[in-house]
Amino acid sequence: MKEAEIERLLQQFQRLLQQENKYLINNQPDKLMPLVEKKQKYVRPFQDYTGEVTPRMKELIQQVQTLQKENLLLTKQAMGFEEMMLKSIRSNLKTPGTIYSPNKSKKSADGISLIDWEA
């Protein structure tokens, strides 16, 4: 593969990472999976390239690495937020809800439900 082809692939890969970055920032996870599949097709040409690395390639590689680090950070941040939300929900579900009975004493609820079946 020629240097110009690798540079072109690096530019395309960089644009793909910029698009991924935009989706991560705008919280659009449904659009990320197709990008992952597109990113995979770049792995083999980059691994197989044995030619000289030009200054332009070095510049593009640096930009790609920066974008990948930023995207990884955004992904970890989103996963951390979702994990925190799930922990919060789980801890709220562990404590039984209480319902006041007609004789003014607390009665433990049989189960937690979003629908009040007794109403």
Q: What is the residue-wise DSSP string for 31-54?
A: GHHHHHHHHHTTHHHHHH--S---
pLDDT at 112 over 80: no
Choose the weakest-confidence range: 30-34, 81-85, 93-97, 100-104.
Answer: 100-104
Determine contact, residues 61/71, Cβ cutoff 8 Å. Answer: no
Q: Which residue has the higher pLDDT, 111 or 54?
A: 54
Query: C-alpha 13: how far from its chain's center?
Result: 18
pLDDT at 111 over 60: no
Handedness of CA 53, 57, 59, 65 (dihedral sign): negative
pLDDT at 72 over 90: yes
pLDDT at 68 over 70: yes
pLDDT of residue 109: 53
pLDDT of residue 85: 80
**Looking at the chain, how many residues does it have?**
119
The stretch 26-31 carries a mean pLDDT of: 89
pLDDT of residue 65: 96
The C-alpha atoms of residue 21 and residue 24 are separated, in whole angstroms, by 5
The C-alpha atoms of residue 21 and residue 10 are separated, in whole angstroms, by 16
DSSP letter for 56, please.
Answer: H
pLDDT of residue 1: 77
- 80 DSSP β-pair partners: none
Please give the structure tokens belonging to residue 65. 């690495």
